[in-house]
């Protein structure tokens, strides 16, 4: 934000601007006092009130990844703020101030919060600190260089004088923000690198944390909805006579593609919905099923794709050496966040209020505004904690449906998806098919081609980023292989599956690519007659951080030591989201093909680990997320509909399925990498390779097929 010679004008103007955008209306963690007139707001992220209260505005959303705490640590580090006394606030929808620098839109995803905001937030903290120091030096008539800062105070060492940031706020607000303020030497970090406690935990263990689904505006009514279960279908005739007779049912809202029942509580609404006699017009997709979709992508994958990356002469390289080919396939997946999709909307003559937990605040605002024919500033979005995001809340569809329903309801209405609706009205992790060919020469890879066929989520979600027929995300971690290969080509074939909408899913492109590549690498190692760890290490000279991680993981996992019958170890080495991770999984297979996870270990080099405990937690949880998909995850289609519905048929790993998971964080001074999705990509290939070691059976499709592992069916 720009500076001005009139400090009170600056803060007042910012305050008004913020209020208009809803900034002060909803706070997180602790009640936010109305900022005093003398508050100091030198940028979009930091506000210091006259009473000394420091409020940090969170440009990224908290969905469990601990980012509120890490982001606060980055700002507080440079600001020398008294960390436990900070207050945090969700940012308002505001692309101009809070767009993610790596995505260009106000969104939280692709494990890049820390990477994207590392420099801007350090700069914001350091610049604010410099202005507070300048204000104190001015007040004392001393050289700013003679002042230091600690715990939200400026200190003049020579005289022993101290002034709190609050007392300096008014004066600092009158100063021009300096340019090019030096950032701290990482050796002097006092917060970054420490396993600090998360801000959001206390209220998450006593039931006080407020998620979108917990929004309770006065007079709120509750709605259950059914959208056409066939993709693209419409609503036919609805008989609502029985529903309307149910006590607590207030209203039935009939739209062209969905029907909602509004009631005094969610149960009344659900009962009303169940009592409707609904006829659906299935439309053009009524005959789409999984077999048709797989035939379609297999056909599409036979054609040459757009070149995403080429080194040397891949075709020539393939002709020189022992050749191996393989195809890998990954299924549709649902997100199944623990907090089912929901959104509360109140349309008034003055505009619209939306209560939601979303990864895309500004897009929710603009999309709802467009739906209702309102200017965006008439739509206030109250952001909440997210009960899981995993990419599902990178879409505004639940807010659009809620807004369309709210147009017919007098007063606020909370639309809550049933779990079945949540699973069946998802945007699905696309199916992918990977075709590999490689040649081995002297036990090294000479030629490598990799054709990735699948939906482009990017082309729909961020069209400007889809260029030269290549989806940068769909080829991520495939084009930038850590291994030294002289002749190399990666192709991308965009193929949208019939009927099924696709979206980002935790791990995004690397999730599919790392599984396919690291499984195929294992096949190559076996063909070369080499140990899978030795084979990878021999090719990792150009990626020393990953090489070290693999060596350490092998050592800590007891790689090479004997295991019982039908038990094996598998390795995965990956560079994804700018983190370097080696993972060893140990698994056992019984005669019926049932898999027992025995041990999982990851060595993680993510550069500077802002909060190392959060890094460990994210890898632990991410591994389980990925292993859940590998062992159970598959959405199938019949008659144009999703066949899965709830946790009984879309299974999750449970505590009794999960072994101990060890995570070793490598100490590093490199710039921080991404961590929220890295575990999810590491688990499946490490497991698949362990299953090969245990059984000699190579699984080239996910989820793993127990019949194949039992030897009753061909892979």
Partner 1 sequence: MVSLNINGQSHEIDVSPDTPLLWALRDVLGMTGTKFGCGIAQCGACTVHVDGQPLRSCMLAVSAIGARKITTIEGIGATPVGAKVQKAWLDLEVVQCGYCQSGQIMSAAALLVSNPNPSDADIDAAMAGNICRCGTYVRIRAAIKKAANVA
Q: Which tokens belong to 321? A: 């050496």
- Rule CB under 8 A: say whether 274 interacts with partner 1: no
The secondary structure element, H or E, covering residue 644 is: none
- Residue 269: strand, helix, or coil: helix
* Position among 112, 620, 681, 689 found at the interface with partner 1 (CB under 8 A): 620
- Rule CB under 8 A: say whether 418 interacts with partner 1: yes
- Rule CB under 8 A: say whether 5 interacts with partner 1: no
Query: In whole angstroms, how close is the CB of 108 to partner 1 at the nearest point?
Result: 13
Query: In whole angstroms, how close is the CB of 508 to partner 1 at the nearest point?
Result: 17
DSSP per-residue string spanning 576-589: ETTEEEEEEEEEEE
Distance CA 36, CA 24 (A): 13
Q: Which is nearer to partner 1, 271 or 433 (CB)?
A: 271
- Rule CB under 8 A: say whether 202 interacts with partner 1: yes
- Rule CB under 8 A: say whether 635 interacts with partner 1: no
H helices, E strands: number in the chain: 20, 26
Distances (CA, A) of 10 to 4, 41, 461: 6, 8, 36
Distance CA 666, CA 673 (A): 12
Which residues, in sequence order, are CB contacts of 446 under 8 Å at separation 6+?
A: 317, 318, 320, 321, 439, 440, 485, 486, 487
* Position among 658, 670, 701, 706 found at the interface with partner 1 (CB under 8 A): 658
Query: In whole angstroms, how close is the CB of 660 to partner 1 at the nearest point?
Result: 6
- Rule CB under 8 A: say whether 336 interacts with partner 1: yes
- Rule CB under 8 A: say whether 358 interacts with partner 1: no
* Position among 68, 117, 222, 580 found at the interface with partner 1 (CB under 8 A): 222
Residue in the block written with tokens 């002749």: 487
Q: Which stretch binds partner 1 (CB under 8 A): 212-220, 314-322, 426-434, 575-583?
A: 212-220
Pairing of strands 444-454, 487-494: parallel
Q: Which stretch binds partner 1 (CB under 8 A): 137-145, 178-186, 195-203, 317-325?
A: 195-203
- Rule CB under 8 A: say whether 337 interacts with partner 1: yes
Half-sphere exposure of 544 (CA within 13 A, CB side): 2
Query: In whole angstroms, how close is the CB of 193 to partner 1 at the nearest point?
Result: 16
* Position among 653, 668, 670, 701 found at the interface with partner 1 (CB under 8 A): 653
Distance CA 18, CA 24 (A): 7
Half-sphere exposure of 135 (CA within 13 A, CB side): 27
Distance CA 215, CA 189 (A): 38
Distance CA 171, CA 9 (A): 13
Taking a C-beta distance cutoff of 8 angstroms, is the pair 269, 262 a contact? yes
Q: Which stretch binds partner 1 (CB under 8 A): 43-51, 132-140, 379-387, 442-450?
A: 379-387
* Position among 50, 66, 593, 673 found at the interface with partner 1 (CB under 8 A): 66
- Rule CB under 8 A: say whether 516 interacts with partner 1: no
Q: Which stretch binds partner 1 (CB under 8 A): 297-305, 602-610, 644-652, 702-710?
A: 644-652
* Position among 52, 144, 164, 248 found at the interface with partner 1 (CB under 8 A): 248
- Rule CB under 8 A: say whether 266 interacts with partner 1: yes
What residues does 605 pair with on adjacent strands? 580
Q: Which is nearer to partner 1, 453 or 620 (CB)?
A: 620
* Position among 42, 59, 64, 482 found at the interface with partner 1 (CB under 8 A): 64
Distance CA 583, CA 603 (A): 6
- Rule CB under 8 A: say whether 264 interacts with partner 1: yes
- Rule CB under 8 A: say whether 504 interacts with partner 1: no
- Rule CB under 8 A: say whether 500 interacts with partner 1: no
CB atoms within 10 A of CB 180: 8
* Position among 313, 496, 534, 613 found at the interface with partner 1 (CB under 8 A): 613
Q: From the CA atom positions of the chain, what is the Rg in Å?
A: 27
What residues does 323 pair with on adjacent strands? 439
- Rule CB under 8 A: say whether 596 interacts with partner 1: no
Give the dihedral of Cα atoms 610, 612, 618, 619; nearest 10 deg: 120
What residues does 600 pair with on adjacent strands? 585, 661
- Rule CB under 8 A: say whether 208 interacts with partner 1: yes
Q: Which is nearer to partner 1, 222 or 332 (CB)?
A: 222
**Residue 397, φ and ψ in degrees, nearest 5:** -60, -35
DSSP per-residue string spanning 404-456: HHHTTSSS-EEEE--HHHHHHT--BBPPEEEEEEEEEETTEEEEEEEEEEE--
Taking a C-beta distance cutoff of 8 angstroms, is the pair 498, 292 a contact? yes
Taking a C-beta distance cutoff of 8 angstroms, is the pair 39, 169 a contact? yes
- Rule CB under 8 A: say whether 268 interacts with partner 1: yes
What residues does 383 pair with on adjacent strands? 356
Q: Which is nearer to partner 1, 532 or 679 (CB)?
A: 679
Q: Which is nearer to partner 1, 376 or 659 (CB)?
A: 659
Q: Which stretch binds partner 1 (CB under 8 A): 179-187, 209-217, 315-323, 345-353?
A: 209-217
Query: In whole angstroms, how close is the CB of 547 to partner 1 at the nearest point?
Result: 27
Query: In whole angstroms, how close is the CB of 388 to partner 1 at the nearest point?
Result: 5
Total number of residues that touch partner 1 (CB under 8 A): 65
Query: In whole angstroms, how close is the CB of 160 to partner 1 at the nearest point?
Result: 37
Query: In whole angstroms, how close is the CB of 620 to partner 1 at the nearest point?
Result: 5
* Position among 50, 305, 388, 688 found at the interface with partner 1 (CB under 8 A): 388
Taking a C-beta distance cutoff of 8 angstroms, is the pair 407, 349 a contact? no
In SS3 terms, 144-161 reads as: HHHEEEECCEEEECCCCE
Query: In whole angstroms, how close is the CB of 218 to partner 1 at the nearest point?
Result: 11
**Residue 321, φ and ψ in degrees, nearest 5:** 135, 180
- Rule CB under 8 A: say whether 654 interacts with partner 1: yes
Q: Which stretch binds partner 1 (CB under 8 A): 44-52, 201-209, 454-462, 488-496?
A: 201-209
Binding region for partner 1 (CB under 8 A): 63-66, 197-198, 200-202, 204-211, 213-214, 216, 222, 247-248, 264-268, 270, 336-340, 385-390, 416, 418-419, 613-614, 617-618, 620-625, 628, 646-648, 652-656, 658, 660-661
């Amino acid at each position: 934000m720009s500076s001005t010679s009139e400090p009170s004008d600056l803060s007042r103007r910012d305050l008004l601007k913020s209020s208009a955008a809803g900034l002060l209306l909803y706070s997180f963690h602790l009640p936010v006092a109305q900022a005093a007139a003398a508050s100091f707001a030198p940028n979009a992220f930091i506000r210091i009130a006259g009473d000394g209260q420091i409020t940090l505005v969170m440009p990224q959303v908290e969905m469990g990844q601990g980012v509120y705490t890490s982001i606060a640590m980055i700002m507080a580090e440079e600001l020398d703020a008294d960390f436990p006394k900070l207050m945090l606030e969700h940012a308002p929808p505001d692309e101009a101030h809070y767009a993610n620098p790596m995505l260009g839109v106000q969104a939280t995803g692709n494990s890049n919060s820390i990477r994207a905001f590392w420099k801007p937030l350090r700069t914001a903290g350091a610049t604010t600190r410099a202005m507070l120091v300048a204000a104190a030096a001015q007040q004392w008539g001393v050289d700013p260089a003679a002042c230091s800062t600690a715990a939200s105070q400026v200190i003049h060492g020579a005289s022993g004088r101290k002034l709190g940031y609050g007392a300096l706020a008014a004066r600092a607000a009158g100063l021009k923000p300096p340019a090019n303020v030096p950032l701290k030497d990482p050796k002097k970090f006092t917060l970054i690198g420490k396993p600090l406690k998360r801000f959001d935990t206390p209220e998450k263990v006593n039931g006080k944390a407020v998620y979108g689904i917990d929004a309770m505006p006065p007079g709120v009514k509750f709605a259950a909805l059914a959208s056409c279960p066939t993709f693209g279908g419409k609503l036919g005739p609805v008989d609502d006579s029985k529903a309307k007779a149910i006590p607590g049912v207030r209203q039935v809202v009939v739209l062209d593609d969905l029907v909602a029942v509004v009631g005094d509580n969610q149960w009344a609404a659900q009962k009303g919905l169940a009592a409707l006699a609904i006829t659906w017009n299935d439309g053009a997709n009524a005959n789409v099923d999984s077999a048709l979709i797989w035939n379609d992508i297999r056909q599409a994958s036979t054609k040459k794709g757009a070149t995403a990356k080429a080194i040397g002469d891949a075709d020539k390289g393939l002709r020189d050496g022992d050749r191996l080919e393989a195809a890998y396939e990954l299924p549709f997946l649902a997100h199944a966040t623990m907090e089912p999709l929901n959104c509360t909307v109140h349309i008034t003559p003055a505009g619209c209020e939306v209560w939601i937990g979303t990864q895309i605040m500004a897009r929710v605002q603009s999309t709802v505004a467009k739906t209702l024919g309102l200017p965006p500033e008439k739509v206030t979005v109250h952001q909440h904690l997210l009960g899981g995001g995993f990419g599902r809340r990178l879409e505004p569809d639940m807010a659009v449906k809620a807004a369309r329903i709210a147009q017919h309801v007098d007063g606020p209405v909370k639309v809550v998806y049933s779990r079945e609706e949540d699973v069946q009205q998802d945007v699905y992790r696309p199916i992918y098919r990977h075709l590999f060919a490689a040649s081995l020469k002297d036990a090294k890879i000479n030629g490598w081609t990799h054709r990735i066929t699948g939906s482009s989520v990017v082309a729909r979600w961020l069209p400007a980023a889809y260029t030269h027929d290549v989806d940068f995300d769909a080829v991520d971690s495939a084009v930038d292989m850590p291994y030294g290969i002289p002749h190399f080509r990666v192709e991308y074939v965009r193929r949208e599956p019939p009927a099924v909408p696709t979206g980002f899913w935790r791990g995004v492109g690397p999730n599919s690519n790392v599984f396919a590549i690291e499984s195929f690498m294992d096949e190559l190692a076996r063909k070369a007659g080499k140990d899978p760890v030795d084979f990878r290490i021999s090719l990792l000279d150009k990626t020393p951080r990953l090489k070290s991680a693999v060596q350490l993981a092998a050592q800590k996992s007891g790689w090479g030591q004997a295991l019982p019958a039908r038990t094996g170890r598998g390795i995965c080495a990956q560079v994804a989201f700018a983190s370097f991770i080696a993972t060893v999984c140990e698994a056992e297979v019984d005669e019926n093909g049932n898999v027992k996870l025995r041990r999982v270990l990851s060595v993680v080099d993510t550069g500077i680990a802002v909060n190392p405990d959060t890094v460990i937690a994210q890898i632990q949880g991410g591994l389980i997320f990925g292993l859940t998909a590998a062992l159970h995850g598959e959405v199938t289609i019949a008659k144009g509909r999703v066949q899965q519905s709830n946790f009984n048929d879309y299974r999750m790993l449970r505590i009794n399925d999960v072994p101990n998971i060890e995570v070793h964080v490598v100490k590093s001074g490199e710039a921080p990498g991404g961590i929220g999705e890295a575990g999810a990509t590491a688990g499946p290939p490490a497991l698949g390779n362990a299953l090969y070691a245990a059984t000699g059976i190579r699984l080239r499709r996910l989820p793993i097929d127990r019949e194949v592992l039992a030897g009753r069916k061909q892979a």
